[in-house]
Structure 1
Amino acid sequence: MIKSILGTSAIALVAALPALAQEVDRTDWPTSFTVGTASQGGTFFVYGSGYANLISEELGVTGGAEVTGGPMQNMALVHTGEAAMGMTTMGPAQVSIQGKSPLAPGLEMTNVCAHFPMYETPFHAVALSSSGITALSEIPAGSRIGFGPAGSTGDTYFPEMMTALGIEYERRNGGWNDLGGQLQDGLIDVIGFAAGVPIPQVAELEASNDVNIIEFTAEEQALMTSLFPVSNFDIPAGTYASLTEPARAVSMWNFAIVNCDLPESFVYEATRVIMEDNARMMQIHSSAATTVFENWDKNTVIPWHPGAARWFTENGATISADMIK
Structure 2
Amino acid sequence: MQRRSLSALALASLTPGAAHAQASLALHTAGAGSAFLPYGEGLAAQLGRANIAVTVRQSTGSLQNLTAVEDDAAALGTAFLGSAWDALQGAPNAGGRRHVAIRALFPMYETAFMVAAPAASGLRTLRDLHGKRVGAGPARGPAEGFFRVAAAAAGIEPVIVSGDPAALAEGLLRGEMDALWQGAAVPIPALTMVADRADAVIFGLTAEEVAEVRRRLPYMAEAVVPPGTYRGQTASVTSFAAWNFIVANRALPEATAYAITRAALSAADPRAEIHASAGGTRAENARFNSVLPFHPGAARFYAERGVALAAPPA
Q: TM-score, normalised by structure 1?
A: 0.69
Is 2:168 the counterpart of 1:182?
yes
- Runs of 4+ deviating beyond 6 Å: 317-322
The answer as to 2:18 corresponding to 1:23 is yes
Residue 236 of structure 1 and its aligned partner are, at CA, apart by: 0.3
* d(CA) in 1 for partners of 2:126, 2:296: 44
Secondary structure, counterpart of 1:234 in structure 2? strand
1:157 counterpart residue number:
146
Q: CA deviation at 1:116?
A: 0.8
8 Å CA contact retained: 1:39, 1:68 = no
Partner of 1:196: 185
Query: Is the counterpart of residue 107 in structure 1 residue 97 in structure 2?
Result: yes
Partner of 2:262: 272
Cα deviation, 1:209-238, whole Å, max 9, x if unaligned, reads 444312223453454455443454421001
The partner residue of 1:139 within 113, 129, 144 is 129
Does the CA-based 8 Å contact 1:56-1:63 persist in structure 2? no
Alpha-carbon distance in 2 for matches of 1:320, 1:144 = 34
Alpha-carbon distance in 2 for matches of 1:21, 1:281: 26
Counterpart among 51, 60, 65 of residue 43 in structure 2? 51
Q: CA deviation at 1:146?
A: 1.4
Partner in structure 2 of residue 216 of structure 1: 205
Q: CA contact under 8 A between 1:115 and 1:305: conserved in structure 2?
A: yes
Distance 1:320 1:86 in 2: 20
Q: How far, CA to CA, are the matches of 2:221 and 2:157 in structure 1?
A: 24
Q: Distance in 2 between matches of 1:128 and 1:170?
A: 17
Report how many residues are paired: 295
Match of 1:15 in 2: none
Deviation at 1:162, TM superposition (A): 0.9
Q: 1:35 aligns with which of 29, 36, 39?
A: 29
Matches within 5 A, 1:277-292: 277-281=267-271, 284=274, 290-292=280-282
- SS of aligned partner of 1:161: helix
Separation of aligned partners in 2, 1:246 and 1:207: 18
For residues 155 and 21 of structure 1, do their structure 2 counterparts lie closer, same or farther at Cα, with a shift above 3 Å needed?
Answer: same
Structure 1 residues 46 and 198: alpha-carbon distance in aligned structure 2, compared to 1, 3 A threshold: farther
Post-superposition shift, 1:273? Answer: 1.3
Q: Which ranges of structure 2 fall in alignment gaps of 5 or more residues?
A: 1-14
Matched with 2:89 is 98
Query: In the superposition, relative to structure 1, how do residues 38 and 309 fare at CA in structure 2: closer, same or farther (>3 Å)?
Result: farther
What do residues 258-283 of structure 1 show as CA deviations (whole Å, max 9, x unaligned)? 34455655443322211122324565
Shift in alpha-carbon separation, 1:280–1:245, aligned structure 2, 3 A: same
Aligned residue for 1:53, secondary structure, equals helix
Unaligned runs of 5+ in 1: 1-19
Match of 2:4 in 1: none
State the match for 2:77 in structure 1.
Answer: 85
When the two structures are superposed, what TM-score results if normalisation uses the length of structure 2? 0.71
Query: In the alignment, is residue 242 of structure 1 matched against residue 236 of structure 2?
Result: no
% identical aligned pairs: 29
* Larger Rg belongs to: 2
Deviations 1:69-107 (A, max 9, x none): 5x5565455445697320323x4422321112x523422
Could you tell me which amino acid in structure 2 is paired with residue 185 of structure 1? Answer: G
- Matched to 2:46, the amino acid is L
Name the CA shift for 1:206/1:312 in 2 (closer, same or farther; >3 Å). same
